[in-house]
Structure 1
Amino acid sequence: MSRVPKGDRKLKAALLLVCWADGFGAVEGAHVLADAGLARRRTFQVIIDELWQVIGSGSGIVDRIDVLVRVENRGSATQAIFVTHSVADLSAFESTKDANKALGFLEKARLKFIGPVGPEELDRLSTVTHINAAERELLTSAASTPPPSESVLSRLRAVMRRGGGAASSVDRPRPHGQGVFLLKHGEDKRPGIPFRLNFTPAEETGVHNTNNRFDGVTTRAGDASRIGGTP
């Protein structure tokens, strides 16, 4: 994926579809071997990541995805997880028919994991699942990370004034909404289950740090101090 030019949406969508099809093909192959007594029987979980990059790549793409993911049922012993950025991604079509089909992916999902989002996104989500006032407050407050306190800023300035060195992870406060999610299950008005994900020691090494270009903080021309952690 990293070798696909950023502006080539159709090529990226095609590559993702090929990867998903290959994954579902492996699942079917494993079931055929198990049915023939040549392998142990297993269940599968397939992650459909970056759905937004495929869903809006062109007319008719929704039908292709719909055919591909229909393997997700009890007969295939397969669970599918769809990952996208916004409900708006599922309705960004000129065709109302395509938009309704795409929203159907969300409507049919029995479990919905919702991260920190704003009020407009919650309004869109409310069309497919009930969200009460307490849940709205949780998700919108998690999306609104307050600025660091003056004491934290003072410590960071002191490190930068010394000209070099690195601020410890303690100096960089954890974003308020980091790892916060709400699990909504069912179609009735039952409340969701809030939880927070925490990094493991292996993840704290920075292997998944997608904000590393913020690490170099320029204080003045020709003088930069490295400050570790996630902004």
Structure 2
Amino acid sequence: MMRKSKKSKDARATTGSTAVPKSRKAGARGFAGRGLGEAKMLHPMREMRGTNYQVCGLYPFPMGGGSPISGVPLGRNLITGEPVCCDPITWFMKLRLIANPSAFLMANPGLGKSSVIRRMCMGLSAFGTIPMVLGDIKGEHVLMIRKLGGAVLELGRGVGQINPLDDFGAMAIARKLSPARREELLTELHDRRRGLVASLIAIQRKEPLNERERNILDRCLSVLEEEHGEDATEPPEMKDLLRVLKARPEQVRAVALDRGSDERYDEITEGLEGSFNTLCGAGSFGRMFAGQSTDRIDPTRPMVFDLSRIPQSDSDLRAATLMTCWTAGFSVVTASNMAADDGLVQRRRYFMVLDELWNTLAAGRGLVDEVNALTRLNREWGVGMVMASHTPSDLMAVRDENDRHKAKGILNRCGMKILGGLARAEMPLLTQSVSLSQREQDQLANWQDPAAWTDGRDGDIQYTNDDVFTTTTFVSDAAIHEWLEDSDEAEWVEDDRTRTPPPGQGKFLIKVGSRAGIPVSVDLTPTERSSGVHDTERKWHTTKKRMVKKGGSGGAL
């Protein structure tokens, strides 16, 4: 008995050490006890996604994914970690998750709205869709279009001009169409010219044309189009329209009701003649609409109208130029669709971008109607669309009461809403158009909070490149480190907003109808960062080397 007791005592001593008895089994967190390696905290596993064919051998461990995987890759689900793919064209055409191929982005400044738009443009361009930025007021998308091999059409005083009577390639296509299609396209072109000139005059006058003036404008355009014909090498200009008005043709006199009196004709058309003179370069618009367009639109390439040279204070010119750019874009899409209907070209898909919507809607009368028409007819035109603004209050900031109701309908009709950080005070107005639970509202309000008060400079916190970038199989670690050491990029890389971003930067909630939103974190790849297409604060990141005169003694410019 004494030997048995001693053996039990030795067994207890062995149990108290790091050795594990054979009778014990590991729990969910490992062996419990001192030095036995029990896991106090379990890190969540990174989820991967694949098709049934790819992961069938892992049964029963796989489970169904919670978000669509078709479309442009945006980022990872904040809850499950799975990849999220989203764009309005794919979700409409392939998945049929939305009834309208349009998206509306909304978030406070600096949280990544434009980056999401550029990610969609780059992804859809790879899928064969052509991005069209019809009026880049701040010049944020110019570099992206250049990287995609597209055309940048610069407009501004002394920089470039655009002809309101330009056909934008429609006449060349009309010559190849069947007679019925040709007549339809020419009628569409005539209506667009008449509507555009009338809108430009309305922006200048601050009031629309009366019925008689609209009839006179319509007949002047008809006479001018008969003179040029389908074989004209160049489209007519505004000076040609003014010449027709002064020539007093019988077709125009019939609708002017001048009763055969030249004096009465001149009195009736005096106001319209003065407006034509303004568009010919004699007024506040300058030479913007006075001659031929300085650039041509290629319907097979991405393009952007760069309006960053037009100052914010010149609201009338900006509104008139935006209206002309929209008409140009619609003309290109219409002509391309008709050519595809007749089998002349392959069907092309276009993705129209309207960033900084608040600036566009407030630029002048008539622009709300243009955007409103696009949200209603984009399915028939075969185009996708994305719009972005800061808050729902921006849509209520237009001057005219009727335009406010139309602007609110724009948000309601968009197929999907992508929401970022917003103030809690905006939630009552937002929930009138978007169904949000209280938890989703709290999440959006939390995403607008700033970063931590301390940036880490006063402590011993050291940041590594892994805090900024995640390596991929496409870019080697050596290439990333080489780029990080480039002095030209140093200031952006060292920017604390990149290393310690606000909690809501790059985080968005994708909402479709009343379904629960998909929270996603949009992460930029090293290739995107090195290209600089998402850097909208270049003037804050200018390095000293760029501010020194070449060949000088180092003095600042």
- Does the pair score TM above 0.5? yes
* C-alpha displacement of 1:58: 3.3
1:92 and 2:418 matched: no
For residues 183-222 of structure 1, what are the structure 2 equivalents within 5 Å?
183-186=510-513, 188=514, 190-205=515-530, 206-215=532-541
Question: What is the SS of the residue equivalent to 1:38?
Answer: coil
Q: Secondary structure at the match of 1:72?
A: helix
Measured after TM superposition, the shift of residue 118 of structure 1 is 0.8
Give the Cα separation in 1 of the matches to 2:395 and 2:382.
26
> Aligned to 1:21, which of 327, 338, 342?
327
- In structure 1, how many angstroms separate the alpha carbons of the residues matched to 2:460 and 2:391? 37
Q: Residues 61 and 26 of structure 1: is their aligned pair in 2 closer, same or farther, counting only changes over 3 Å? A: closer
Decide whether aligned partners of structure 1 residues 3 and 68 sit closer, same or farther in structure 2, where only a CA change above 3 A counts.
same
Distance, in Å, in 2 between the alignment partners of 1:150 and 1:181 is 24
So what's the TM-score if we normalise by structure 2? 0.34
CA distance in 2 between partners of 1:71 and 1:180 (Å): 31
Q: Report the counterpart of residue 504 of structure 2 in structure 1.
A: 177
Per the alignment, do residues 63 and 19 of structure 1 end up closer, same or farther by CA in structure 2, a change over 3 Å counting? same
Which of residues 377, 390, 394 in structure 2 aligns to 1:71? 377
Q: Distance in 1 between matches of 2:315 and 2:420?
A: 25
- Aligned-CA RMSD value: 2.9
Q: Secondary structure at the match of 1:145?
A: coil
Segments of structure 2 that go 5 or more residues without pairing to the other structure are 1-306, 462-486, 543-557
Matched residue pairs, number? Answer: 207
Task: Please give the per-residue CA displacement for 1:167-203, whole angstroms capped at 9, x wherever unaligned.
Answer: 86496313321111111101x3x21111111112233
Structure number having the greater strand percentage:
1
Task: Report the more deviating stretch, 143-152 or 129-138.
Answer: 143-152
Please say which of residues 83-92 and 99-108 is displaced more in the overlay.
83-92
Question: Mean Cα displacement is larger for which, 40-49 or 104-113?
Answer: 40-49
Equivalent pair of 1:182/1:195 in contact (CA under 8 Å): yes
C-alpha contact 1:21 1:68 (8 A) present in aligned 2: no
Q: For residue 41 of structure 1, report the CA deviation from its aligned partner.
A: 1.9
CA distance in 2, matches of 1:212, 1:63: 34
Distance 1:11 1:174 in 2: 37
Rounded Cα–Cα distance in structure 1 between residues aligned with 2:505 and 2:424: 18
Provide the secondary structure at the position in 2 that maps to 1:209: coil
Query: Which residue of structure 1 lines up, in the alignment, with residue 553 of structure 2?
Result: none
Given the superposition, is the C-alpha separation of residues 84 and 100 from structure 1 closer, same or farther in structure 2, using an over 3 Å criterion?
A: same
Distance 1:150 1:46 in 2: 39
The answer to whether the 8 A contact 2:447-2:504 is kept is yes
Instruction: Name the SS for the 1:71 alignment partner.
Output: helix
Identity of aligned residues (%): 32
Q: Give runs of aligned pairs for residues 27-176 of structure 1, distance below 5 A.
A: 27-67=333-373, 70-73=376-379, 75-149=380-454, 151-154=456-459, 169=494, 172-176=499-503
Alignment check: 8 A CA contact 1:111 1:185 kept: yes
Gap runs ≥5 in structure 1: 157-164, 217-231
Larger RCO, structure (CA 8 Å, separation 6 or more): 2
* Cα distance between partner residues in 2 of 1:153 and 1:13: 49
What's the offset of the Cα at 1:213? 4.3
Higher-Rg structure is 2
Alpha-carbon distance in structure 2 between the residues aligned to 1:61 and 1:30? 23
